[in-house]
Chains A and B, each alone.
Chain A
Amino acid sequence: MTYQYYPGCSLHASAKDYDQSIQGVAQLMDLELKEVEDWNCCGATVTPSLNQLQGQVLAARNLAIAAGKKGDLVVPCNACYMSLKKVQYNMGKYPKVRENITDIFGQVGLRLTGMPKVRHFLEVILEDVGLEKIERMVKKPLEGLKVACYYGCQLVRPLGFDDPEDPQSLDRLMSTLGAETLPYSQKTHCCGGSLITTQPDLTFKMVDELLEEARSLQADLIVVTCPMCQLNLDAYQNQVNKKFNRKTTVPVTYFTQLMGIALGLSKNKLGLKKGVISPSKALEKIG
């Protein structure tokens, strides 16, 4: 199967491990990912905060480049996923938005005819590959590994493919790989997003609550689907732990890294050494 791939800015920097593990897993499953040519930032939550139309043209330019080409548009980042999906939704719902964007695009030679469907990589794994096939492909079950599946916000709200309050897709995938999924009640709570830069007092508390529940459940790992969630929970974890006087750490890995392990990919190809909080000890459980 062929897909168009929109990595988003983080996957070229702080989330290279996510990109690496996606490439590895995709290859194994015969998913051909073709990177969208000359893609640009989706605007995230910043540009639309300053000017909604600017946010929408940014997101829509990627859709225009991908329009008319073969394959759904696969997005690994929750925030990019939502931004791209939302502009598509808004163009359908609000004629004014559609007119503005098509008019501006008309003047620079961009066309939106034949826009692709926007899908998260997790969605593609579940719906196009399917858990039955994945189960047959497991070479090294994640037996004994206790994981807290953390979906974050924008994967499931407001336009996600799973339940906005109690999604199950990631839990089902992890169970299929042999891991024990924990009843993580904050699975769709917010990590604070980009506010962690400007309002750390407010957001460190949010991160701490997420980590604390995972610790109380004795999770070996928190599994994530988004580079922003990963950064906040992993890269900021030492600072957060210091602030709240917590003594233990919890590694935060991408679902694709765990998939890679279970499907027998070499650990070196999964970017597992890139976590600030190393997952090595937790992964010793599965050998």
Chain B
Amino acid sequence: MAKDFAGEVMSYPGGEKILACMQCGTCTGSCPVSHNMQYTPRKLIALIRANQREKVLSSLDIWKCVSCYTCTARCPRGIKFTDIMYILKNLAWNKEEKGAEVKEISAFYDSFQKLIESRGRMNESQLVFRYSFRTNPIKLLEFAPMGLKLMSKGRVALLSPGVSNRKQVQTILKMAGERRGA
């Protein structure tokens, strides 16, 4: 029998306790960004349990989680909702079609990821360049005043060294990518 959505979420590390939710809303009340969400953490749990896979995974709300772990620290049922958000983002990322409103965020995540794949370390300025060119190069103008300020303070490393053994980093990323999940 095909697993329902809750079963799917539960099969990943961190998702196992989702059925224990009693819909008390401590997560939503603690979340620093829930005021800006259509589907708050409590609602997302309800939607997962109501098997609303498509609605949850196409939502921009799952990409608003800032990983502050306040919901996880406070949940009276021990549900690690931040981890569930990671599971949801993973599943959404694997979907062929991503919603239009997720486009900007996808570009940022993808730029970061490509940078890590190519050099093993993050470089803030290269990240901003990549992201701006992927979305709207005019963004560079918005970043410029701060970028120049940081540069004048010696806080921009345009060419910081990457990892030497890039092949190893690339290999483990590739093997992990092929396994999906966990």
How many B residues have CB within 8 A of the partner chain?
Answer: 63
* Contact A190 to B109, CB < 8 A, known contacts A97-B182, A104-B172, A239-B146: no
Proximity bits, B97-140, A CB within 8 Å = 1, else 0: 00000001100110011001000111111001001000000000
Q: Which residues of B contact A199 (CB under 8 A)?
A: 64, 105
Proximity bits, B146-182, A CB within 8 Å = 1, else 0: 1001100111110011011100110111011101111
Chain B contact residues, majority secondary structure: helix
Interface centre among B36, B131, B154 (most CB of A within 10 A): B154
* Contact A206 to B32, CB < 8 A, known contacts A96-B182, A107-B175, A274-B153: yes
Chain A contact residues, majority secondary structure: helix
Report the separation of the CA atoms of residues A61 and B164 in the bound assembly, to the nearest whole angstrom: 13
Closest to B169 in A: A40
Contact across chains for B176 and A195 when beta carbons are under 8 A apart: no
Report the separation of the CA atoms of residues A189 and B180 in the bound assembly, to the nearest whole angstrom: 32
Contact across chains for A53 and B176 when beta carbons are under 8 A apart: yes
Contact across chains for A273 and B153 when beta carbons are under 8 A apart: yes
Q: Which residues of A contact B116 (CB under 8 A)?
A: 40-41, 43, 47, 58
A-B contact pairs, 10 of them (CB 8 A): A10-B122, A13-B124, A38-B163, A46-B112, A50-B109, A53-B182, A188-B70, A190-B68, A197-B131, A238-B146
Binding site for B on A (CB under 8 A): 9-10, 12-17, 38-41, 43-54, 56-58, 61, 90, 93-94, 96-97, 100, 104-105, 107-108, 110, 153-154, 157-158, 164-165, 188-190, 192-195, 197-199, 202-203, 206, 235-236, 238-239, 273-276
